[in-house]
Amino acid sequence: MRVILTAALTVLMGLGAAVQAQENPVVVELYTSQGCSSCPPADALLAELTKRNDVIPLALHVDYWDYIGWKDSFAQPAFTKRQKAYAYAAGHRTVYTPQTIVGGRDHVVGYKPMELAKLIEDHGDRPFAVEFSARRDGDVVSVRAAAASKDTGDMVLQLVRYRPEDTVEIRRGENAGRTITYHNIVQEWRQIATWNGSEPLEMTTAVEGDAPVVLVLQAAGHGAIAAAAHLR
């Protein structure tokens, strides 16, 4: 297992160095829980991804493990709902932890670092059909998007706020006795606009606090992520 992990991390970090200047980062959503004994390796892998500039790794903690005996202090029902919406859109009947969704399209169930590394590479090589930029000035974020073609379909623009790092002492449940440091813990994921790509989108929105912000432009109905921007 350690050899596999080392090889996977080498691939993950090596790819990041090779495409560090990439303008269109790959959004990686990890659905996880403090109460899931299978999740810590995936949590650790996400921590490694935070070192890459071409990836936006985000941890969404779900609440359906809370009944086992430990209530996840980061979990929100909205994140469980988002994961289930992805499953419905993909025709899947079940959700899992850990589960990683790459670019809003490809699902990785369980801890599979080599598969994840390959998917990140594939998504990084795909040209985005949208020119996208965002900037932050204090508590105001400005966004501009322009589609390369008129048939992009309906999209939703979402704003994500996350906590870069936090450590938790888990006292009960499957991970009882462990102290785990989590990274890029999503605190808020909300829709701020809809767009059909027919005309350029230019808008501003307010943000609270000084937490890092991510803008995600995604096909409606939990489809592919068309563009994203990371504002630390």
Predicted confidence at residue 9, as pLDDT, reads 53
pTM given for the model? 0.90
Q: Where are the domains of the chain?
A: 2-231
According to CATH, the topology of domain 2-231 is Glutaredoxin (3.40.30)
Predicted confidence at residue 13, as pLDDT, reads 52
Q: 229 φ, ψ to 5°? A: -145, 145
Q: Cα separation of 218 and 222, whole Å?
A: 7
Q: 150 φ, ψ to 5°? A: -90, 0
What's the token pair of residue 32?
Answer: 């996880």
Which residues in the chain show pLDDT less than 50?
1-7, 15-22
Cα dihedral 176, 97, 213, 77 in deg (nearest 10): -80
pLDDT tens digits along 153-187: 999 999 999 999 999 999 999 999 999 999 999 99
Q: 224 φ, ψ to 5°? A: -70, 145
Q: Cα separation of 104 and 101, whole Å?
A: 6
What's the token pair of residue 213?
Answer: 């912000």
Residues whose CB falls within 8 Å of the CB of residue 179, separated by 6 or more in sequence, listed in order: 167, 168, 169, 170
What's the token pair of residue 220?
Answer: 């409606």
DSSP three-state, residue 41: helix
Which residue type does 7 have? A
Predicted confidence at residue 54, as pLDDT, reads 95
Is residue 63 within 8 A of residue 76, CB to CB? The reply is yes
Whose structure tokens read 């900037």?
135
Cα dihedral 42, 45, 47, 51 in deg (nearest 10): -150
